[in-house]
Structure 1
Amino acid sequence: MYNKFDKLMIKGSIMHTLKNVAPVIWIIIAVLVLCAGLILIFNTTLAWSIIEWSVAALILAVGLIYLFSVFIKTTEQKLKALGIGALCVLGSAALFAMPRLIGGTFGLVSAVLAIIIGLLVLLNAFKLRRDGAGWTGTLITAAAYLAIGFAMFFAESGGRLFSVLLGLYFVVFSFNIFGDALVSLMGNNTAAQKYKRKVRVPLPTFIAAFLPMKMLRTVNHLVEEDPDELLLVERPEQRHEPDMEIYIHTREGFIPGMGHVDIAVGDQVYTYGNYDDATWKLGGFFADGVMVEMDRETHIRMSLEVEKKVLMVYGLALKPEQKKAILERIAALKADMIPWEPLAQQAEKGEIEGNPEDYQDVASQTYRNSRGRFYKFKKGNPFKTYYAVGTNCVKLADSIVGQSGIDLLRVNGIITPGTYLDYLDSLYERGDSIVVARKLYYPENSDAGRE
């Protein structure tokens, strides 16, 4: 039924641009990142001098490229290229004259981000406490983010603290790059694979959050430039059929572009979100948490034909004990749920007046399109209240997928679909994990996202 969708798949990785680079280059990059991290930790002045001059030179190079491109651009593009080039050249001149602006700006932005994340995590802690769920660990995490953010913002040693934290991140991230190179060089060597499984550094949240948008832009560009590039590309060495799938959605628009995550086990899809818009607070940032269970085929059709979304699907091959643990986790969640009916379903049963089509709330539209089964959570369950950057779709999906025993995404701050997209994509690219399949579903007749 879905041959026209199944044949569409992105050719190669969207996120990992180093996939086809020789492992020796990976090692060189890892060494450079490691050296940058060590310099940031032990010689802040030298590190920032290098960063400041490098950033200024890079901006200047970009500006010159844009200015030179004026001679090969079409008439309508020349003005845009000229403006961007001039701004970059002027900006680089200002940075060469006042290089300290770069370090100060980086530190200030990082401090503000840490404070914002801390406040958002603190809201999650209060939400969990109100719902009667465990909240102490979340409160401690919020306090750590706030302490680091205020220290970088107000303390005299804030710049030094930022350098040390950034340096530590670079050091650990260099081991992540080195692990990719090691696994690539040693192939199926068991020791190398075990090493790589132990080393995983996710992208910073504020970067990963926008990965679904990047995926959407890349897909739209490929469709526009060369539709034949969207072909089904399965790994020849793949030997396992997926036992469960993870769906990452995205579509045009800032909030929808951030993405959504569902999981499928067998023929059933489980999706969690703020479907009851009668309980929305702050525009749906908070709401009653609703779990929807629907058929897999219906879910794909609704996402593509009705919602006009792009779906990246990752398939997991599970051992019997892993699949059993996942099914037990789903059963445990369902035991803590209460069936709930959208207004359209109530009207269909004659429990309220009106026709089902009269109700246009989110839950009613989802019910009409999916014929799914809806549930809310009991008090004491952390998913009782949906929270966009805390107990959200990714958090619930990860609580189920985590039963597989794979090296899970460990995020103590804000959890986004983009972070999960980066994580699953890296597991697939690695080739030694239980993530054995990756497909792209694109709505053929949709103009969403095209310019």
Structure 2
Amino acid sequence: MFYDVAMNFVIGTILMVAGAIMIWIPNRIFTGILIASIVFLCINGVVLFIRFVKNKLNKDFFFSILSFAFMFFLMNFRYLPQWILRVNFGGYCILCGFACFVQLVINQIDHIKGNFLNFVFSFVYIFFGFYLLLNPDFHTDLLMRAFGIYFMILGMRYLGDGYEGINPLTKYKWKRKVRITLPAFLCAFVPDAALTSINRYLEDGKPEDLNTYKKDEVVRLKVIVHVGPKGFQKVGHICFAYDDIVYSYGNYDSDSFHLNQTIGDGIFFTVPLEKYIPNMITAENNSIFEYGIYTTSKQNALIEKEIEKIRQNGYRWYTKIEKEDGYDRFSEYEMDYPSRLHYRTGAKLYKVKSGKFHIYWALGDNCASFTDLVLGTLGADVLSIRGIISPGTYLDWLQKEYLKKNSPIVFRRIYKEWDSE
């Protein structure tokens, strides 16, 4: 834990310094990026060529020539870093605007009110994105200063988290507010990065006890983030368990898949925690990050009220193996996730009748937003100004809050292999 708290101070300081430089001398940032890139490509080209001479591998020679060619290209086209920054940020803004617009359309279909902010963000993001893409004369110094301000705000958040992690007098209280987070595309990689960090920790021969307990409290609420080894599994999935019953939301009906499975009918399932975790570890080859949150009787009442709303707004949906009574032919249904989940754990799945979460949208009403229904009753500050909450956003928040003194997040468990104890 000391290492994690210290890293908050290190990252916060780096962000503050980088932000100040971007604000004070934005034009020199590009020059620094250009020089660093040219030096790196030159060194890389030399190293690859030496490796080619020793090992006679054609790929080393090819990448060495490619590295030198790109180096000379940069030397003759010095505005390339500015072009890359402008085009990539413009594309990112358009993607965020598209995500907000799709959520706006879904909300209209489901007759959900209060869409003005979604409309504003959609318009602003898309307009600014195309403005960057289509305007080569855009003054990138302004963009760099904006990045600098963002870095300094984010740096202050990291420093604040670090201070709260060492100050024993911290009076902990969650407060519902917009939280300045990493960009959405970076948050998407947080679960995989966390798993990679754990793997390196174990490979270095360090102690294998990754579970930490701050207080010996009875915990009724647990938040579970799991991450798989490949593909979309690396982005992770998040759900919660209350009184050891898991509630998980997602896009599970293959007949309703649209837009490369990012849109579909909203479905949640319930399953005992004692069956869910070993199944995810052994059968689905996932790693699990589990956080236990201590709750008061008043908070428990709010959670139970929210869970009852969730249950009342769902109707039983039967998987293919249930509808076709294929329990004795499991191999025919093994590729269908809801079928194998039900077969192995007895999970019961429910489709959302109406309103929010009636339609699943990976960049809007997703598993993280569903979990936020419950954690939001406690005051979790994971609201995003972009409207995009990913499992990575929540994992980053859970870890930061867990490190703070007097935090109600009282334990963390990491499962890489199922332990029955």
Normalising by structure 1, report the TM-score: 0.79
Q: How much identity, in percent, do the aligned residues show?
A: 23
Aligned to 1:245: 222
Q: Is the 8 A contact 1:389 1:415 kept in 2?
A: yes
**Is it true that 1:372 corresponds to 2:351 in the alignment?**
no
Amino acid at match of 1:238: K
Q: What CA distance in whole angstroms lies between the structure 1 residues aligned with 2:122 and 2:8?
A: 41
Which amino acid in the other structure matches residue 33 of structure 1? A
Residue in 2 aligned with 1:103?
82
1:159 and 2:140 are equivalent in the alignment: yes
Partners of 1:300 and 1:417 in 2: CA distance: 17
Contact 1:209 1:419 in 2 (8 A): yes
Structure 2 contact 8–159 (Cα < 8 Å) conserved: no
Q: 1:273 Cα deviation (Å)?
A: 0.9
Q: Tell me if 1:171 matches 2:152.
A: yes
Cα-to-partner distance string for 1:387-417 (whole Å, 9 max, x where unaligned): 1221111110112211112333425333321
Q: Does 1:138 align with 2:118?
A: yes
Cα deviation for residue 374 of structure 1 reads 1.4
Partner of 1:419: 393
Aligned counterpart, 1:269: 246
Distance across 2 between alignment mates of 1:279 and 1:84 = 44
2:376 to 359, 379, 402: 402
Aligned to 1:434: 408
Give the letter for the 2:312 counterpart: A
2:217 counterpart of 1:232: no
Cα deviation per residue 1:312-369 (whole Å; 9 max; x = unaligned)?
Answer: 1122122222222111111111111112222322344xxxx89563545332222101
Q: Distance in 1 between matches of 2:287 and 2:58?
A: 33
2:210 corresponds to 1:210: no
Q: Distance in 2 between matches of 1:195 and 1:244?
A: 16
Flag the 1:287–1:356 CA change in 2: closer, same or farther, 3 A: farther
Deviation track 1:200-257 (CA, whole Å, cap 9, x = no partner) reads: 421101111112222343444455x35654323425x435343311111111222121
Letter in 2 for 1:29: I
115, 129, 138: which one aligns with 2:108? 129
Q: Note if contact 1:118-1:141 (Cα within 8 Å) is conserved in structure 2.
A: yes
Structure-1 separation of matches of 2:178 and 2:111: 35
Alpha-carbon distance change, 107 to 217 in structure 1, aligned in 2, over 3 angstroms: same
359-368 vs 176-185, which moves further: 176-185
- After TM superposition, the structure 1 stretch with the greater mean CA deviation from structure 2, 406-415 or 370-379, is 406-415
List structure 1 segments (4+ residues) > 6 angstroms apart after TM superposition.
68-72, 75-86, 193-199
User: 1:414/1:30 Cα in 2 relative to 1: closer, same or farther (>3 Å)?
Assistant: closer
Q: What's the offset of the Cα at 1:178?
A: 3.1
Match of 1:326 in 2: 303
1:53 maps to 2:32:
yes
Q: CA deviation at 1:260?
A: 0.9
**Cα distance, 1:53–1:126 mapped onto 2, change above 3 Å:** same
The one-character-per-residue Cα deviations of 1:19-51 (angstroms, maximum 9, x if unpaired) are 43595x667535413413532xxxxxx313234
Q: Which moved more, 1:206-215 or 1:134-143?
A: 134-143
| Distance across 2 between alignment mates of 1:378 and 1:89 | 59
- What CA distance in whole angstroms lies between the structure 1 residues aligned with 2:68 and 2:403? 38
Instruction: Indicate conservation of the 8 Å contact 2:224/2:289, yes or no.
Output: yes
Amino acid at match of 2:339: S
State the SS of the aligned residue for 1:20. Answer: helix
The size of the alignment, in residue pairs, is 414
Distance 2:357 2:246 in 1: 18
Structure 2 residue ranges without an equivalent (≥5): none
The C-alpha deviation readout for 1:131-174, integer Å capped at 9, x for no partner, is 23234432332222112212322344463553343233123113
Decide whether aligned partners of structure 1 residues 48 and 216 sit closer, same or farther in structure 2, where only a CA change above 3 A counts.
Answer: same
RMSD over equivalenced CA pairs, Å: 3.6
Contact 1:70–1:78 (8 Å) recurs in 2: no
Q: Where does 1:384-399 land on structure 2 (aligned, <5 Å)? A: 384-399=358-373
1:287: which partner in 2? 264
Residue pair 1:63, 1:85 contacting (<8 A) in 2 also? no
Letter in 1 for 2:310: L
SS at match of 2:6: coil
Q: Is the 8 A contact 1:299 1:370 kept in 2?
A: yes
Instruction: Report SS of the residue matched to 1:272.
Output: strand
**Equivalence for 1:443:** 417
CA contact (8 A) 1:212 1:259 kept: yes
Q: Secondary structure at the match of 2:217?
A: coil
* Further displaced range: 147-156 or 226-235: 226-235
Matching residue's letter, 2:209:
L
Q: Displacement of 1:95 after TM fit? A: 3.9
Letter in 2 for 1:174: G
| Unaligned 5+ runs, structure 1 | 1-11, 40-45, 446-451
Structure 1 residue 108: Cα displacement: 1.2
One-letter identity of the residue aligned with 1:286: I
Cα offset, 1:444, TM superposition? 6.9
Residue 29 in 1 paired to residue 4 in 2? no
Q: Using a 3 Å threshold, how does the CA distance of structure 1 residues 306 and 21 change in structure 2: closer, same or farther?
A: closer
**Cα 1:431/1:290, change in 2 over 3 Å:** same
The residue number in structure 2 matching 1:43 is none
